[in-house]
Structures are given as C-alpha cells and as structure tokens.
Structure 1
C-alpha cells in the first residue's frame, strides 16, 4: 500500500520515518535479492537436470552390461551329463562336436580311522609331508610330480587334535580338503581328498614327536588299500573320435569360450554345439535400441530450448549437455573398425540415427544382415582381438589401443606391426605404446605375415563413455559440484546483503533522526516568531 508522505508531512507531526526507512531499504534490497534468488534457482535447476542425466546414464550402463558380448550364440548339449556354459563371449564361435565320456575324473581319497572318540581327540605332534603324483598300486611305488610343490604341515600344541588337523589341512591352500565323519556313536574318522586327476594322488609322510606320538596314524607313505577309498583318476572322453584326457570334470580348455562340466558317463556320443540364434540376436538388438533411444529421449528433453510454446528443458542451452548429446550421436554414426577389412556401420544392421538423435530399427534388414554374416554383429556387442591365421594368436591388455586392422610381419625373429617395431621374448611379440599399445602376438613360426584385428565394440565404446560420465571426476559430477559451489556463494551473497541492509537501515535512521532534529528546531523557531509577531500585533492594536 502506498504511503502519502506529503500528508504525513502536512499533518504537523513530522514524517513517518519508520515507513520511509522500510520503503527505502526494501527498494534497495528487492532487485539485488531477486537477482541472487534467480541465480540460485537457475543453479538448482541445472543440478536437478544433471542429476537426472547421471541417473539415466546409470540405467543405460546397467542395460549395456547385460548385453555385453551377446551376438546371439547359444550352446546346447545332447546329454544332461555334459553341461555347457559360455565363459568368454568374445572367444566363442559357432561349433558342433560329437562327444562321449567313458570315465569321470576322481579325487584321490584317504580315510584315517583310529578309534577317535571325539572330534577334538588328541592326535600327537610332529610333521606331515604331502607329496603329489601317482601310485603304481601293483608294485606299491609312488612317482612324484616335481611340478607340484610339496607341503609340510607342522602339528604342535596349537593344532594337535582331529579338528585342528582338519583345519590346518584346509587352510594350507595345497588343493587338499579334509573333513571329519562320525562313523558311529563316539567314533570319528578323518577324510582327506586331493584335487581330481590321476597325477594328483597323495603320499603323506608322518614324522612323530618322540615325546607325543600318534601322528603316524595319518601317514600314507606306503601304499595301503585299507586307507584308500577312491583312487585318483582322469576324465576320459572322445571329441569327434579323438581321445581326450583331463584331470578335472570341469573342462575350460577344450572349446574356446565354453566350459564343459561332466556329470556322468556318456556311452554313445552326443552333439555339443553352439549356433547363431536369430531370435535371441533380434531381442538383444531391440533391447540395445530401446536403451539408446531412452537415453537420447531424456537428453532431448533436458536440452529442449522451449521453442513453439514448449517448456524449456533443465539443461537448455547448456554447452556440456549439448556436447554429451553430440558425442553420442557421433558414436552411433561413425564406422566401427577392427572386425573385418571393411568398416561396419549401424546402418548395415538396420539402425539409422535421425536428426533429433533418436534411432529407428528395421528388423527385416537386421535379420537379413545377421543371416548373411552373424559374426560381424560383434562390432556392436563384443570387443575382440583375432588374427587371420590359426598359427598366430593375439591378445590385448588395457584399453589404450586404437581399433583397426594391422599388418603383423615376422622375419628371422624380428617382428613389426604396421611397420612399427615390436619387442620379442620367447615366441611372444609386444607393443607397449602407439596405436597397438598392450598388444601381444604369439606364434611358433619364424616368418609370417598376417592381419591382426583389434575390434572395440560400439557397446564398449558407449559403456566407457558412460563410465566417464558417472566417474567422480567426470564432466557431469564436476558440473553438479560447480553448481553447488555457486549456490554456496550465492547464499553467502544473500547473507552479505542482509548485513548491508542492516547497515543501510542504520544509516537512514541516523539521517532521518538528524533531519527530525533540524525540523523540530525550525518548528520551534517558527513558533517563537509567530508568537512574537502575534504579541506585537496585539500591542499595536491596543
């Protein structure tokens, strides 16, 4: 409500200085406070926008993780006794093998029973030497495998019980496990198992402490069938008619990228295979497109400039957000290198990027491309390193390499990769820097020329970028921290403004108080003059 200061002045009681000071202070405060609060609100909107963006990248990263390496391959076994599991999606390819299993691997198992009446029964003191190899049971001769380290266990007052020995064996990390079995009331035995395989059988030499005997019960330095319940043996199988032996029923080195777990014998060969499943591949691609479109849609909402009556996004006009948007568009439109001699584009698989950043997916075009060449789908889902020769293998450590196809040349022990020298050591050739940093090439050949394919999938490229966005030192986190710092400074500006307004009020009060004294003095002088003239006039009239 406006104050009629002239009326207040003409009322004869002086100015209403409180109202005047309040109005003057408020007139000074309002525009400054409004400007600061506007900046606070702008920073809060940005923080909210970047927080939403960060959350969207977290969701996107999770979805990418589930699709990593998925190029539509499925493994199957013709028998429940042969379980198949994909262990490395970057190494597996389609295959079909005929497999039969005639024998499972077994753990060499010994049982030591000496009328132990309790689990904590005393067993004596001394040492137990474990050696590993194989037993010739007919001649009772043990042949040690010198490649397996012997282990000596010390049994003293701290562990000279049945449970103490069990725990000492289990804690030794020598591939031997021990357990206690109650065979009858007040009767306990110790069961000791080695790793599976005929070459992992145990020889145990007990050396007793003469003052605390009993440890010899656990010796097996001389063959004794009474202590042996299961012999150590290998798994025997045939793969496409070729005899194969493994020490374990879990086999990881027979088929690249696949683990076989033998559960029982298979007398008649069955088919174990991996094949490209277009239904699975199509579902994976749809998930990829949906996740990418969800991210792009949220980016478009956040950066919307608010034209044509639309509401502006929280990050409208923000250069960082625009840069992120541009970076993703670039990743999804540029060629993917390192998978074949020709570049691969998303458009090869029916994916097109629109002007607004959204993606369209032509399923029919995808299926035609996948049926024609399913392996190239790895360019989208699976980073990989490969060569064009079975005599040359390659692998890469780290993520510093530049994707592409490189020429490997070896002559008389000297190797180059695309004309750059490599470091040689025992049939391996390394590069520590440059476009192929971290590359190791292995071959037994003395001379060869091959192509090395270093492929980084689009999924890995996008996931790495998401990691950058989500990192504590990433652009988005930096922006959020910067905006929070701005708000802290602006809140301090508001506090400083309050202080200044208090000082301004005090100054106005002092000034108006001085003015009031002057006006009061002038009024008193005026009253004196009026009284004087009135007196003079009255005297003259009389």
Structure 2
C-alpha cells in the first residue's frame, strides 16, 4: 500500500508540476514588451507612406516653381533684347556734323539718310511784339478811369474784343488780354523810367507772319507802338529757297531737325552720319537671347534631361508649350508694320533652324542695313519714337514682342500666376502635413494608453503566475515528501 501510495503520489506530483509549468508559460508569453517603442513603431508605419506622398507633391511643386523662375528669367532677357530694337529714335543713331553751330543746330531724327547738305540761313523767324506807353505802377487807372475796348485780331484766326469797364487798372488789362486766348500774351515790364516805368508788353504766341496780330484800342488808352514785326524764317537748303513760320524746322532735310539761331553770310556744310553698328549688335543680342530661352524651355520640358538644375521640371506643362509657340511666332511671322522690302526677320538673314534655334546670315544682314536701313527700322519699330507712351496697335516686330512679353512676365502675368498657384499648393500640402501630424499624435496617444493597459494586465497576470508557481511548487514538494 505504501509503495503504491508513494508511486501514486510521485505521479501526481509530476502531473501537477507539468500543468503548473504550462500555465506559467502561457501567462508569461506577453511579458517583457517595450510598450512605448511598439506604439511609436506602429504610428511610424502608418505615418511614413502618407508623409512621403505629401512630400513628393511638395517637391513637385517646388520643382515647378524653380522651372517657372528659369522661364521668367529667359523671357525677361528676350524682352530686354526686343526693347533695344523698338524705338525708332534710338535704334540706329544719327549724328549730324556741322561747320557752323552759331547759325543753327542740326540733329538727326528717324529716317535720316547719310550724306552731305548745304544750308544757309538768310533770316530767322520772329514773333511780333508791341509795347504800351508808361504807367506809374500796376494799380494805375487806365484811360483816366473810363471804360474802353480793345480788339485783338490775329493774322490767322478770329478777332477778340475785350470790353474793359470803368476804373480798370493796368493789371486788369494784362489779365484780360492773357485770358482772351487771342494768340497774344501780355506782361507788365519795368523799364526803369523815373516817372512811368511800367509798360504792357504784348508778344505773339507764335513766331512768323501767320502769328502776327493787330490791336485796335478804341480810346487809344494804351498808346501801343511796334517793337518787332512778325517775320518768317528763310533759308536755302541744297540750293532750294524756302520759308517757315518757325525756327524749328523738321521737313527741310529728311531725318534732320534744324533749329535756327541767326543769319549766316555763307553756306554751311552739314554731314549726316548713320551708325549701323549698334543696330547690328542689338540684332545679334536678340538672336542670342532667343536661342538661350529656346534652349531653356527645351531642357525644362525634357523629362529625360540630364541637367541637374532645371531638367524636366516643367515636363508636360501647358504654359511651357504656349510660351514656345509664342516666341517662335514672334521671330517667324511678318511684322505688323512691314517696310518696303523688309517685312520679316528672314528678310535680313535671321532664320529659324530645324532644331528651333535662330541663325544669322551676317552677309545678308549687313546688306539689309546698308541698303534698306529705313525699311529695317520700320519693320522693327513701326517708326514709333518713345513707344512706351504710344497707344498704337501696330508696333512692329520689336514693339509687338515687348508688349506681349511684358504682359507674360508681369506680376499679374501667366508665369507669376503659375508660380503663385504652386505656392498655394505647397501651403495646402503643408496644412495636410500638419493635420497628419495631429492625427498621428492622437493615434500614438491611443496606442500608448491601450498598450499601457495591456502592460498593466500582463503585470497582474505575472503576479498571479508567481503565486500559482509558489503554490504548485509547495504542492509538488508536499507530495514528494510523502
């Protein structure tokens, strides 16, 4: 019995120990976990792909902004190159050299032709002037204080009658004449005379006979006398006698402005020299600026480009294609103001190549500048001087291009508009990142709390495990001792 009992006790002890170990093992499977690390890793696993997707969008928008910046720089350079060719008064400078600058000043203007001219000034134009009798001062009464009338009759124009009321002062007469708009100005001058130093000086607004006038004084109150009679300018240009009402003459020699100062006793030789060097250089600069922009646009649109700075940054961009078409039309189309023989850039040797670049036939260009300079200027400028202040619709190849490129590159233009759109996109993506971070912070907090609760539960189970282990150990020992 004892042996059987002992054997039976030993078997029971072994079975209890095995069962306890299984329970203990089962309870111990969740212990030793780094709860914070687990929570962080789970959140990171969810955050990373979403964050990477948003960052990819930000990078793409930044790349576009960089591409638009490169485009804007090239467009601005081309605009500057065209701007140097849009003003007829500066595109091909004209120098006029004269052997006598005392009699007149000669300056070159648009359309001047190189050559020599013979000029003699026989009379300069003068404005008519009259002077009144003297008065003590500007407040002195005129005509003894009685009313009177003045009638001013210009040589060209309608007569003006001024009815001066009683007690009119000298200053009142001056003001009335100036307000009449009769082509005459009045001024009160001090002659320095001891008794009656103040006189009314009348001067025609314009020089020449046509600017002359007569004054009818009903009472003879002013005592007007003539100082200078109206006179036209007279001169001889290349043997041809001519008269003009003004000393500023722009139609005697094509492209040359004459300002007359004094008569000269003999002819003066002037030489008109036209410098084509600047124009040729500016055309070369235009070709360079166009080719640089064309190359930049091509690189920006090439997704396979090896350029590490701008390559492919605007691949498949509709604005890039629009700009490419725009600038190509600028250099291949006819001018809105064609010259007689020069209607397009190809007529001066500037042609488009198969790769989209421009090439210059320097021989043809120089020939056009030498033989048809006026037509070249017309093609580029529409003969507009100071085009920035012109409201003309047709401005020539250069003027039209400047207008279009200025609009394209302005703060309200398409390029800056695209940049602003991408900036707005980036702000939106950054908002998405901020919201993602907020969501992930909440998720981390939830995971942390859940895993902390689990850890507490595991700790409680571990305590129970320890208690059970002690009990099973005691029971095993008890049976082992029997």
Provide TM-score, normalisation by structure 1. Answer: 0.63
Q: Given the alignment, which residue of 138, 154, 160 partners 1:133? A: 154
Shift of 1:366: 2.4
Match for residue 440 of structure 2? 501
CA distance in 1, matches of 2:420, 2:180: 50
- Give the match for residue 200 of structure 1: 211
| Paired residues of 2:70 and 2:296 also in contact (CA < 8 A) | no
- Is the 8 Å Cα contact of residues 73 and 94 (structure 1) preserved in structure 2? no
Cα deviation digits, residues 74-101 of structure 1 (max 9, x gap) = 36364423334455x3x66678765432
**Corresponding residue number in structure 1 for 2:261:** 263
For 1:151 and 1:505, how far apart are their aligned partners in 2?
Answer: 98
After TM superposition, list the pairs within 5 Å mapping 1:134-213 onto structure 2.
134=155, 145-147=156-158, 150=160, 193-195=203-205, 196-201=207-212
Name the larger-Rg structure. Answer: 2
- Which SS does the other structure have where 1:283 is aligned? helix
CA distance in 2, matches of 1:202, 1:526: 129
In the aligned structure 2, how far is the partner of 1:495 from the partner of 1:379? 60
Superposed displacement of residue 181, structure 1: 6.0
Does the C-alpha gap of structure 1 residues 180 and 22 become closer, same or farther in structure 2, counting only changes over 3 Å? farther
Contact 2:338 2:344 in 1 (8 A): no
**Does 2:282 align with 1:250?**
no
Query: Does structure 2 conserve the Cα–Cα contact (< 8 Å) formed by 1:300 and 1:356?
Result: no
From 96, 106, 110, the equivalent of 1:76 is 96
Instruction: Compute the displacement of 1:104 (Å).
Output: 1.4
Q: Against the structure 1 CA distance between its residues 97 and 354, is the aligned structure 2 distance closer, same or farther, given a 3 Å change threshold?
A: same
Write the distance in 1 (CA, Å) between the matches of 2:33 and 2:201: 105
- Could you say which residue in structure 2 is the equivalent of 1:399? 393
Q: Are 2:68 and 2:418, in contact at CA under 8 Å, matched by a contact in 1?
A: yes
SS at match of 2:266: strand
- Cα distance in 2 between the residues matched to 1:167 and 1:30: 86
Matches within 5 A, 1:42-121: 42-68=60-86, 69=88, 72=92, 74=94, 76=96, 78=98, 79-80=100-101, 81-86=103-108, 89=110, 98-110=118-130, 114-116=135-137
Query: Could you say if the C-alpha distance between residues 200 and 331 of structure 1 is closer, same or farther in structure 2, counting changes exceeding 3 Å?
Result: closer
Question: Structure 1's 169 and 341: CA in aligned 2 closer, same or farther, altered over 3 A?
Answer: closer
Alignment pair present for 1:462 and 2:374:
no
Shift of 1:284: 0.8
Deviation at 1:524, TM superposition (A): 3.9
Number of corresponding residues: 434
Residue 293 of structure 1 and its aligned partner are, at CA, apart by: 0.9
Length-normalised TM-score, structure 2: 0.70
Q: Any conservation in 2 of the 1:282–1:363 contact (CA below 8 Å)?
A: no
1:284 and 2:282 matched: no
Aligned with 2:468 (options 517, 529, 532): 529
- Deviation by residue 1:484-527 (Cα, 9 ceiling, x = unmatched): 22222222222222222223223323332343344334334434
- For the residue of structure 2 that corresponds to 1:289, the secondary structure is helix
CA contact (8 A) 1:350 1:362 kept: yes
Equivalent residue number for residue 427 of structure 1: none
User: Matches of 1:62 and 1:502 in 2, distance apart?
Assistant: 53
Where does structure 2 lack aligned partners over 5 or more consecutive residues? 1-26, 385-389
The structure in which a higher percent of residues are strand is 1
Pick the structure with more helix per residue: 2
Q: For 1:45 and 1:151, locate their aligned partners in 2 and report how far apart those are by CA, in whole Å.
A: 77
Cα distance change on mapping 1:129 and 1:539 into 2, 3 Å = farther
Residues 420-439 of structure 1: CA distance to partner in whole angstroms, max 9, x if unpaired?
Answer: xxxxxxxxxxxxxxxxxxxx
Tell me what 1:419 maps to: none
Change (3 A) 1:332 1:62: closer
Q: Secondary structure at the match of 2:84?
A: helix
Q: C-alpha separation between the residues in 2 aligned to 1:72 and 1:16? A: 83
Give 1:313 shift.
Answer: 1.5
Distance in 2 between the 1:525 and 1:175 partners?
121
Distance in 2 (CA, whole Å) between partners of 1:527 and 1:161 is 128
Q: Which has the higher contact order (CA 8 A, sep 6+)?
A: 2
1:100-158, CA deviations, whole angstroms, 9 ceiling, x for partnerless residues?
32221223345565344xxxx64679999783525xxxxxxxxxx435x8497999xxx
CA shift, 1:528, in A, is: 4.1
Unmatched segments (≥5 aa) in structure 1: 1-8, 135-144, 208-215, 386-395, 401-455
Q: Does 2:33 align with 1:22?
A: no
Distance 1:300 1:127 in 2: 81
State how 1:324-473 maps to structure 2 within 5 Å.
Answer: 324-334=323-333, 339=338, 344=343, 346-378=345-377, 380-383=379-382, 398-399=392-393, 457-473=396-412
Tell whether the 8 Å contact from 1:98 to 1:240 is kept in structure 2 after alignment: yes
Question: Aligned to 2:246, what secondary structure does the other structure show?
Answer: coil
